[in-house]
Every structure is written in structure tokens, then in C-alpha cells.
Amino acid sequence: MATAPQFDSLPRRSTRVATDILIEVKGEKFAHAGETIVVNLHGGLIRTAARLDVGTLITIFVHRTGKSGLARVVFAPPDDPSHYGVELDQAENIWGLEPSPEDWEI
């Protein structure tokens, strides 16, 4: 599995976990299949065929948990238009990781 790119040098608010989870990315006028690459309590790095711009508001639906979360696209690497960094509006383990890292307890 490839290592996730670093989008910034700031410390993470919660532990990152590399995992491949099937998701659906929904916007105002679209819904596309996708998958996670790396997740944390506050968001993650996802892959989808949808073209997303930084600042786009989306809903991420996680198939295996049935949970969804509102999110914003915060990063789009210029060299790979299928990868996006997303930040959840509310920190939550929508991903269904059990056991989750200790710093995910809110």
C-alpha cells in the first residue's frame, strides 16, 4: 500500500489510520463511489472519480457502518486529481474502526 502524501507540516489532531473503506461522496448535484486511503477522527484522505474543488461541501456515507458525516474538501493535490483531503464538520468515528486509537475518544 502506498504511503499517503503529507499535505502540511502541522501536527495531527488525531491518529491517522491507513485503511480501505468503501464510501459514497455526495454533493449538491452528484453522488460518486469512493474509498478511503487514510482516516482519522477529523477527516481523511479519500479517492473518488468525482472532480472536487477545495472548499466543496460534501457528505461522506460509509457503507459498512451506515453512518455519514458532513465534510469539506481541504486539499486536492495537483498531481493526482482523484485524491482529496477532507475535514469532517464534527469529529466522529464514522469509519467504524474498532478498536479505535485512544485519542479518538471524545
Q: How far is CA 10 from CA 7, 14, 15, 24, in A?
A: 9, 12, 13, 28
Structure letter (DSSP) for residue 5: P
In the numeric block, the cell 464510501 is attached to 23
CA distance 60 to 57: 10
Give the pLDDT score at 103. 82
* Main-chain dihedrals φ then ψ at residue 51, nearest 5 degrees: -85, 115
Question: Is the pTM higher than 0.75?
Answer: yes
Instruction: Indicate whether 106 pLDDT > 70.
Output: no
pLDDT digits (tens, 9 = 90+) for 27-82: 989 999 999 999 999 999 999 998 899 999 999 999 999 999 999 999 998 888 89
73-104 pLDDT tens trace: 999 988 888 999 999 999 999 999 888 888 88
